[in-house]
Amino acid sequence: MPTRTTCPYCGVGCGVLARADGPGTAEIAGHPAHPANFGRLCSKGAALGETLSLEGRLLYPSMDGARTSWDAALDRVAAGFADTIARHGPDSVALYVSGQLLTEDYYAANKLAKGFLGTANIDSNSRLCMASAVAAHRRAFGEDLVPGTYEDLELADLVVLVGSNLAWCHPVLHQRIAAARVLRPGMRVVVIDPRRTATCEGADLHLALAPGSDVALFNGLLGHLRREGKADTRFLQHLSGVDAALAHAIDTATAAASCGLPIGDVARFFGWFADTPCVVTVFSQGVNQSSAGTDKANAIINAHLLTGRIGTPGAGPFSVTGQPNAMGGREVGALSNMLAAHLDWDRPGDADLLRRYWAAPALAERPGLKAVDLFQAIGDGRVRAVWIMGTNPAVSLPDGDRVRRALAGCELVVVSDPVAESDTMDLAHVRLPALAWGEKDGTVTNSERVISRQRPFLPLPGEARANWWAIAQVARRLGHGSAFAWRGPADIFREHAALSGVGNGGQRVFDISALAGLSDAEYEAMPPIRWPCPAARPAQERLLGDGRFPMPDGRGRMVPTPLRGPAHAVSEDWPLALMTGRLRDQWHTMTRTGKAPRLFAHAPEPVVSLHPLDAGSIVEGGFAVVESAWGRGVFRARLDPGMRRGAVFVPMHWTDRFCRAARANAAVNPAADPVSGQPEFKHTPVCVRPWTPAWHGFALGRVPLGQDVAAWCAAVPAGAGLWRHELASEGPAEAAHAALVALHDGPGTWITLHDANRGVHRAALVRDGSLRACVFVGPDAGLPPRNWLLGLFAAESITLADRRALLAGRPFTGAAPEPSVCVCHGVGAGAIRRAIHAGCGDLERIGQATRAGTNCGSCRPEIAALLAAHRVAEPA
């Protein structure tokens, strides 16, 4: 029997069936009965089985680089925290946790920090993802509530996607919308995003607004709704702040001008919204990751409140979270400005209730530091000991180089993580081996409030242990053993569930007290369940549609959203706005997806996308330096007419391990939203200029060459035990060959061609008739087709003609390189174009001819784009 568990990646929270089928691998399928995905998985979820090997795992605790016992490591953590608190007070220590943690781990960490260390300096990397949505919910609803369900996306007649590349970042939700549109072709989709993303394929309207101008657009919508008499007078009785919010409504022409959009497009969107009662507005990081993120989210919510389109089938604002358990972290209060179970410092009696429930000796009396401020406090010595769990802030936080310096200077850095090496782990004094997906046991909550079990199906490796266990062990050493005497995650879940019902006569919607009495066996078997599920009241599917809000006055609040620009405006010196974001097939800092070679086939190197008219002398396929006042990165350049002029985009995933020169967040400004504390990842003023290296290179071998081999080195696994390197540098071109030779020291014959005049160097190692390694260096990016070379490695032996072709640097067959579109079946753009030319006129027929898009479906928007491009080039 496969194990029923949950995908560990995005906030969709898909159900997964997993069955271990050998060391480090597992059979993976979508769970047909899970309400999030009904059997679907995206490319990342489908490749989970390829990410489970123990290669690169941290299996034993270590201190100062030397292996140690758990006892010794935990003694050091407890003593270090106790000593720091004794000398400098409770706010001199901190925990930095993660939306990757299970709810039980999260609960334990929050309880330790806020209840027993006496500090609210516990924040989560969810701060980077959806803190603005949380703040907006609390301002408008009185509590952090997502009113709707995924079903609403299928029931809506209009789906508005704001700052959300749903096709790449929440692919299964995108697939659900696409399937609903097939059944109801009248359903419309509007995408609001400065970039033309894969989500725009098939959309009815794309509004490529200026970065940061969302508030103006939705204030304009508010004005239009009022003028058109679309305010719901019945629902307005349940609201406060209506006039104050409407005072910021603007006319359509002003909104269009503020957003840099054609007025006709804006008017069309406003008209559709006004005339469509069933409208869902999905918003995500493009809205949240802004110094005005909370106002942006409230501007969206205002439009729904004014029209009463909230909490009813097919209607409502819908924040989708980036991480698998961002919601769980919110439920247990693991953000520095929240208390557990949606209790609130600002609500009289709540802190006291929690103090008594936990029997906490030192409940934190006020909110703590939010992520950006927390790392600034580490940097300036206010925080002297930090415990980081399941996240990689040296890569993921803005102003990344400053974060590294802060951690490097911190007196005590403890890192709990499954991986042995990461940019953050490298800075740790104490390393604690944590469990990975497939080993963890607990619960997660997805974006539609559904709590699902993550169940283990793999043996625990080495001495890796659950985070909640390590936290409880430290608490015991600090003298709080009885408050942390859990036998397992079920005990923690019951405590968490019971707390949600304590003193809760309906004031707090988050109430899962009906689950507080689960036996161990019932917890183990628990099916996905949506909250609220109170013990004393009926459960609710959707929230707020009845006009009851968990506010002191019982009313929802329309929040005034004045226009304001980004924290740092573009200028003559920094003329472009940098946005960072996700790729389709990668997750965060690639510690897991980086183990699945096929997930690199779609984007094997870090790329900056910019509009051709902003490129100056930067050429397609060349290199570009993206530099801000805070830092810089170097990326392969892609000239993309789908980018809005003035905006550039880089993916956030690349690390020291995969491409040291291309850590996007090193250049991101540390400005944050004053309400939510969420950093402004979507607007950093930068300049972009060409970088012309002395040589370009490409190398394939069975070991990574290391980042020192060239100034720019993107090294990724390429399958069959190979590492693929894209290289460029100003130093000696022979370095790459020398490194490859050193790493492949052994039998075999190197065949080489060296043409100093042209700056060309080609070398291949042949052993027992088959290709073992190769390196190509040239003065420009015109290097051999990568897929051809990878194909030669796959062959049992290479022919004489192949050897000649290797030295010639090109296949004699004329094969051309082509980007991989469908990573499940390894189908490139060329094969899809050929199928289209052969008469395959829709996705289904292309799928039948090539298999592209027939597994996870994540690539279907890109196939649709190829189809659309063909139709434009060759109209019927």
The residues binding ligand SF4 (CB under 6 A) are 7, 9-10, 12-14, 37, 41-42, 44-45, 170-172
Q: Which is nearer to ligand SF4, 9 or 793 (CB)?
A: 9
Q: How far is the CB of 653 from ligand SF4 (least distance, A)?
A: 14
Return the structure tokens found at 627. Answer: 């530099």
CA atoms of 222 and 293, how far apart (whole Å): 18
CA dihedral 63, 68, 69, 71 (to 10 degrees): -30
Alpha helices by DSSP H, 130-212: 131-141, 150-155, 166-169, 171-183
Is residue 566 within 8 Å of 292, Cβ to Cβ?
Answer: yes
CA atoms of 214 and 220, how far apart (whole Å): 10
Taking the chain, what is the end-to-end CA distance rounded to the nearest angstrom? Answer: 51
Q: How far is the CB of 582 from ligand SF4 (least distance, A)?
A: 10
- Distance of alpha carbon 443 from the chain centroid: 19
CA atoms of 76 and 94, how far apart (whole Å): 16
Q: Which is nearer to ligand SF4, 151 or 614 (CB)?
A: 151
CA dihedral 445, 448, 449, 450 (to 10 degrees): -60
Angle value at C-alpha 454, between 453 and 459, nearest 5 degrees: 140
Alpha helices by DSSP H, 5-146: 43-46, 70-88, 103-110, 131-141
Q: Which is nearer to ligand SF4, 90 or 171 (CB)?
A: 171
Is residue 364 within 8 Å of 113, Cβ to Cβ?
Answer: yes
Angle value at C-alpha 589, between 58 and 701, nearest 5 degrees: 75
Q: How far is the CB of 11 from ligand SF4 (least distance, A)?
A: 7
Q: Which is nearer to ligand SF4, 40 or 304 (CB)?
A: 40
Q: Is 800 exposed, middle or buried (0-12, 13-18, 19+ CB in 10 A)?
A: exposed
Q: Which is nearer to ligand SF4, 44 or 370 (CB)?
A: 44
Alpha helices by DSSP H, 382-488: 393-396, 400-408, 467-477
CA atoms of 351 and 353, how far apart (whole Å): 5
Q: Which is nearer to ligand SF4, 245 or 436 (CB)?
A: 436
Q: Which is nearer to ligand SF4, 530 or 683 (CB)?
A: 530
Is residue 193 within 8 Å of 286, Cβ to Cβ?
Answer: yes
Q: How far is the CB of 409 from ligand SF4 (least distance, A)?
A: 36
CA atoms of 94 and 411, how far apart (whole Å): 12
Q: Which is nearer to ligand SF4, 36 or 740 (CB)?
A: 36
Q: Which is nearer to ligand SF4, 12 or 225 (CB)?
A: 12
Q: How far is the CB of 862 from ligand SF4 (least distance, A)?
A: 16
Q: How far is the CB of 44 from ligand SF4 (least distance, A)?
A: 4
Helix (H, G, I), strand (E, B) or coil at 771: strand
Q: How far is the CB of 176 from ligand SF4 (least distance, A)?
A: 10
Q: Which is nearer to ligand SF4, 201 or 726 (CB)?
A: 201
Q: Is 538 exposed, middle or buried (0-12, 13-18, 19+ CB in 10 A)?
A: exposed
Q: How far is the CB of 724 from ligand SF4 (least distance, A)?
A: 24
Give every CB contact of residue 875 below 8 A, 6+ residues apart in sequence: none
CA atoms of 860 and 865, how far apart (whole Å): 9
Report CA-CA distances (Å) from 63 to 69, 98, 385: 9, 22, 15
Q: How far is the CB of 15 from ligand SF4 (least distance, A)?
A: 9
Q: How far is the CB of 47 from ligand SF4 (least distance, A)?
A: 10
Q: How far is the CB of 170 from ligand SF4 (least distance, A)?
A: 6
Q: Which is nearer to ligand SF4, 13 or 202 (CB)?
A: 13
b or e along 337-346 (b: 16 or more beta carbons within 10 Å of the residue's beta carbon)? bbbbbbbbbe
CA atoms of 776 and 758, how far apart (whole Å): 13
Q: How far is the CB of 14 from ligand SF4 (least distance, A)?
A: 3
Q: How far is the CB of 324 from ligand SF4 (least distance, A)?
A: 7
Q: Which is nearer to ligand SF4, 159 or 427 (CB)?
A: 159
Angle (deg, nearest 10), helices 400-408 and 371-379: 50
Which uninterrupted H or E stretch holds 696?
Answer: strand 695-701
Nearest to 854 by CA among 866, 842, 865, 869: 842
Which residue in this structure is represented by tokens 């609803």?
A: 141
Q: Which is nearer to ligand SF4, 10 or 764 (CB)?
A: 10
Q: Which is nearer to ligand SF4, 25 or 571 (CB)?
A: 25
Q: How far is the CB of 458 from ligand SF4 (least distance, A)?
A: 18
Q: Which is nearer to ligand SF4, 499 or 603 (CB)?
A: 603
Q: Which is nearer to ligand SF4, 95 or 590 (CB)?
A: 590
Residue with nearest beta carbon to ligand SF4: 45
Q: How far is the CB of 446 from ligand SF4 (least distance, A)?
A: 8
Q: Which is nearer to ligand SF4, 10 or 648 (CB)?
A: 10
b or e along 541-576 (b: 16 or more beta carbons within 10 Å of the residue's beta carbon)? ebbbbebebbbeeebbbbbbbebeebbbebeeebeb
Q: Which is nearer to ligand SF4, 142 or 651 (CB)?
A: 651
CA atoms of 28 and 45, how far apart (whole Å): 8
Report CA-CA distances (Å) from 181 to 40, 154, 584, 681: 17, 8, 22, 32
Q: How far is the CB of 332 from ligand SF4 (least distance, A)?
A: 20
Nearest to 266 by CA among 255, 280, 282: 255
Q: How far is the CB of 264 from ligand SF4 (least distance, A)?
A: 35
Q: How far is the CB of 335 from ligand SF4 (least distance, A)?
A: 22
